[in-house]
Structure 1
Amino acid sequence: MAELVVIRHGQAAFGQDNYDVLSDLGRTQARAAGTWLRGMDWVPDRLISGTLERQRDTLTEMGFAGDIEEHAGLNEYDFGDLLRARFAGDVPDLVRGDRKTHFRTLRDTVFLWQDDAIEGPSETWGEFTSRVEDARRFATDTASKRVLMVSSGGVIGQLVAASLGAPASQMMQLNLQIKNSAITRFVFSGDLFSLSEFNATPHFATPETAALLSYS
């Protein structure tokens, strides 16, 4: 049985013009995840990232040797595009500036997207789930026994929901729980693909590292 370990990227630049940049905390989180995996004698024999800067940099900061493969199917859905489509380009200031409102709107907007109730998004819900499945097949069509992959919360939520046969809405409930640099683990063999661990952060489980925890 082989393992696929999926890491959510470290903390990015929430609230800034360019979200796709790791913060200093995000880089520290990524290094902590890599250190913990090595301490458990878990060293990957295949490295995969999405094409987003925050994903690639997280994998680099984790410090494992080897070439990094990229798959765009691991990139996060474009929430900014979904907002512009939902609000016809006139996104309320409160959605942009208030953290609680932002995440409540994120959840509700994704539910509408899943129901094909948003007109004109650049990517449909069906296209998103198809590319995530393509990325999963890419990662597991391998002779490697330990695959390390860095992605984002929505993709990880979809991977977990699909592996459990859960309804589409469950993807978003999972998405909102996933911590920066959290570890989600699957086992795979042939057509078998099963969840074995979700959203774990043992690298933050001491008094010294607890302050590293973040969600966005």
Structure 2
Amino acid sequence: MGVIYLVRHGQASFGADDYDVLADRGREQARIAGAALAARGIRPDRLVSGGLRRQRDTLAALADAAGWDLEPRVDARWDEFDHTAVLDDFLATTGRSGDFTDSKEFHRAYLEAVAAWTTGAAAAQETFAEFDARCTAALEAVAGDDTAVVVTSGGVIGLLAARLLGGDATRWAQLNTVVVNASISKVLSSGRGLTALTFNEHGHLEHDRSLVTYR
């Protein structure tokens, strides 16, 4: 029987020219998550991350804080879907402007774009079906009789949680928006298959509400 801990990357640089860079708060979140896992007595046999910089840097900070001396493995199947491409394709298809006046307007358009993507009404370079398949394959690849810690992204974690709980794309869209940065989700691997034990744990961040972020 094994356990897989899925950790979302720390807060990235939302609104900056390069989103794929951890903000200072994101590094702090990663260190706190690592210390929290170590305090629970977790000693992983494997460390894995997606190939995105924010994922790799989160794993490095997390492992350092936890005191884990393991060589991490990078698997690009844990990468997030390209939300920029999904939104751009939606805007091009609908003829809408991408000049948003505030974050709420952007968020509404983003949710519409994701909904269209999941139904196949709007397709970016990677379809939702392809995203679904690679995330499932990534999880199956780390399933085993040992303990793995994987740093990935909110869309991936939300999708896997939805699938493990028997949900569809609509359920994923709901979970995708609530995954907290540096939160921890736990999956049990056994002879009976994969079972979701917890989703989006972030009590280790709640001592400071400014650490509970979603982007």
Q: Name stretches of at least 5 consecutive residues in structure 1 with no aligned partner.
A: none
Alignment partner of 1:203 is 2:208: no
Question: In structure 2, what is the equivalent of residue 6 of structure 1?
Answer: 6
- For the 8 Å contact 2:87–2:114, the answer to whether it is kept is no
Aligned Cα root-mean-square deviation (Å): 1.5
Give the one of 70, 79, 84 matched to 2:83.
79
Using the TM superposition, give the Cα deviation of residue 88 of structure 1 relative to its aligned residue in structure 2, in angstroms. Answer: 1.7
- Shift, 1:135, TM fit: 0.5
Aligned partners of 1:8 and 1:105: how far apart in 2? Answer: 23
Equivalent residue runs for 1:105-124 within 5 Å:
105-118=109-122, 120-124=123-127
Q: Distance in 2 between matches of 1:191 and 1:139?
A: 15
Check the 8 A contact 1:84/1:91 in 2, yes or no: no
Structure 2 counterpart of 1:177: 178
Q: Is the 8 A contact 1:48 1:69 kept in 2?
A: yes
Once the two structures are TM-superposed, the CA of residue 213 in structure 1 deviates from its matched residue by 1.5
Deviation at 1:91, TM superposition (A): 4.5
**Residue 21 of structure 2 is aligned to residue 21 of structure 1:** yes
Alignment length (residue pairs) = 209
Alignment of 1:50-69 (within 5 A): 50-62=50-62, 63=64, 64-69=68-73
Indicate the residue corresponding to 1:128 in structure 2: 131
CA displacement at 1:212 relative to structure 2: 1.5
CA contact (8 A) 1:11 1:180 kept: yes
Once structures 1 and 2 are overlaid, which stretch shifts more, 156-165 or 104-113? 104-113
Offset at residue 191 of structure 1 (A): 5.0
Output the CA distance in 2 between the equivalents of 1:101 and 1:166. Answer: 28
Please report the TM-score for the alignment, with normalisation by the length of structure 1: 0.92
- Percent of pairs identical after alignment? 37
- Secondary structure at 1:149 match in 2: strand
- Find the partner of 1:92 among 85, 94, 98: 98
Bigger drift between 154-163 and 189-198 goes to: 189-198
Answer whether contact 2:49 2:75 (CA < 8 A) is retained: yes
Alignment of 1:135-154 (within 5 A): 135-140=138-143, 142-143=144-145, 145-154=146-155
> 2:105 aligned with 1:101, yes or no?
yes
CA 1:98/1:37 → structure 2, altered by over 3 Å: closer, same or farther? same
Partners of 2:8 and 2:152 within 8 A in 1: yes
| Number of the residue aligned with 1:167 | 168
8 A contact 2:206–2:212 mirrored in 1: no
Q: Is the partner of 2:6 in helix, strand or coil?
A: strand
